[in-house]
Amino acid sequence: MSEYQEIEEQQSRKPLIEIYNEYYIKAPLGKRFLAIFIDILIITGYFILSYLITLRLLISSIPYYYTNNYSALELYFNQGNIKDNIETNWYIVFIIFVLLPPLLYFLIKDGLGQGQSLGKRIVGLQVICLKNNIPCTKSKSCLRNLILLLLSIIALIPFMGWFVELIAVIANKEGKRLGDMIAKTQVISKNP
């Protein structure tokens, strides 16, 4: 019995993908959805928590700005408009601490620890690079997830990119989405 037949029997007819003479189980669509859902929960949880903390810090700092005696020099450089200065500072804080980390996690999540985002690790999936058969790197993850982000932005409908990618996954016999095709990656089941 050949190696391929043995693997196929062990996996009880699960679809196999051959990558450089190694066989992998194609990631089931349900597990992929669950992994995405878990990652979205993580991103949303961070966003809400960091937003609330930032809002609390903003509210607690407002009395400081309005009760301090500013020097003439400070008022001159701020052009007497302290409120605009507060808003500008808090926009920067908001972008750095509330928006940037979830965006970065979304882009590099599949390049974390053995090609697994937290959601993929929980459900037993892995992203591998097709070129050299190793776990997905952060740069490949950024490329494959940037495609999804750009599709959503171009369509001006946030989940439209996900819908296009879903159609690509269903239409492709290996279960690749457009980001996988461009980044030359593949989502597989790590634990059969």
pLDDT single digits (tens) 4-55: 555 545 544 455 555 555 677 888 889 999 999 999 999 999 999 998 888 8
Coil/strand/helix, residue 174: coil
| Structure token digits, residue 14 | 């699960």
CA distances in angstroms from 89 to 75, 83, 103, 174, 181, listed in the order given: 16, 10, 20, 48, 41
Mean pLDDT (whole number) for 144-172: 81
Candidates 188, 166, 161, 191; CA nearest to 177 is: 166
Domain boundaries, the chain: 3-189
Tell me phi and psi for residue 5, to 5 degrees.
Answer: -65, -40
pLDDT for res 90: 74
Mean residue pLDDT across the chain: 78
| Whole-prediction pTM | 0.71
